[in-house]
Amino acid sequence: MNAVHNVMEAAVKDLLDKQWENLLISCHCETCRLDVYALSLNRLKPHYVRAQSGNMYAKANLMTTQARATILTAITESAKVVSAYPHH
Amino acid sequence: MNAVHNVMEAAVKDLLDKQWENLLISCHCETCRLDVYALSLNRLKPHYVRAQSGNMYAKANLMTTQARATILTAITESAKVVSAYPHH
C-alpha cells in the first residue's frame, strides 16, 4: 500500500534546498529545516499519485511559475512560524 | 530530507483495509484500491510530522470518532469517483 506518494514532497524539497541559505529564519539547523519542510507541506494541497501513473504529468504541473510561487509562499510563511516558535 | 511523513497515510490505509470489502465500488482490484487511497489522501488535509516528534500525538488525534468519520467520508466519495472513472 506504499505505492502512492505525494509529488508535492519533492517539489517543496527542491525549492527548500535552493532557497534555504537565503531564507529569513532565526536558525538554520537540520531540525528547523525539517520543521519548515513539514509545515510547508501541511499548508499546501497534497497531490498523491500512484507510483506508476501520472507522476511526470503531476510533476510538470508543479513546475509552473504559479505553482512555484505558491510553494515559496508556504515555505516563507512556515519559516516565520518556526522562527517564532522553534522546537529547541 | 525524508525524515517527515504524513500521518494521514497510515490512518487512511488502516480504515481502507478494514472497509475495503464492504465498500460500494465497481471493481475491487489493486489498481482501483490504490486510486481510492491516493484520491482519499488528496481530499484530506495533510498532517506531516518529523519522524522523531509528535508522531504519537498526531496519530491519537486521527483516532477520534470525528476524524475517522471524516476519513471514511473521503474514502466513500473517492470510491464513487473511481467507480465512475476507473483507470482500466
Interchain CB distance below 8 Å, A48 and B41:
yes
Per-residue confidence band for B33, with pLDDT thresholds at 50, 70 and 90: very high
More confident residue, A21 or A62: A21
Going by their DSSP bridges, the two strands B4-6 and A48-50 should be labelled as unpaired
Q: Is A53's Cβ below 8 Å from some Cβ in B?
A: yes
Per-residue confidence band for A4, with pLDDT thresholds at 50, 70 and 90: very high
Q: How many CB pairs under 8 A join A and B?
A: 58
Q: Which residue has the cell 487511497?
A: B37
Asked if residue B86 has pLDDT above 60, the reply is yes
Asked if residue A58 has pLDDT above 90, the reply is no
Per-residue confidence band for B30, with pLDDT thresholds at 50, 70 and 90: very high
Model pLDDT, residue A63: 83
- Contact predicate B41/B9, CB 8 Å: yes
- Contact predicate A44/A74, CB 8 Å: yes
- Please state the separation of Cα B48 from the chain's center in Å: 14
Per-residue confidence band for B2, with pLDDT thresholds at 50, 70 and 90: low
Model pLDDT, residue A49: 92
Q: Which residue has the cell 466519495?
A: B77
From chain B, the residues in CB contact with A3 under 8 A are 34
Model pLDDT, residue B61: 80
Asked if residue A2 has pLDDT above 80, the reply is no
Compare CB distances from B38 to A17, A45, A49 and report the shortest one's residue.
A49
Q: Is B47's Cβ below 8 Å from some Cβ in A?
A: yes
Interchain CB distance below 8 Å, B38 and A4:
yes
Asked if residue B83 has pLDDT above 60, the reply is yes
Q: Which alpha helices (H) appear in B20-64, and where do they start and end?
A: 30-43, 55-61
ipTM of this predicted complex? 0.89
Q: What are the tens digits of pLDDT across the range B36-60?
A: 999 999 999 999 998 866 677 777 7
More confident residue, A2 or A24: A24
SS (H, E, C) A45-80: CCCEEECCCCHHHHHHHCCCHHHHHHHHHHHHHHHH
Q: Is A36's Cβ below 8 Å from some Cβ in B?
A: no
| Average pLDDT, integer, range A1-30 | 91
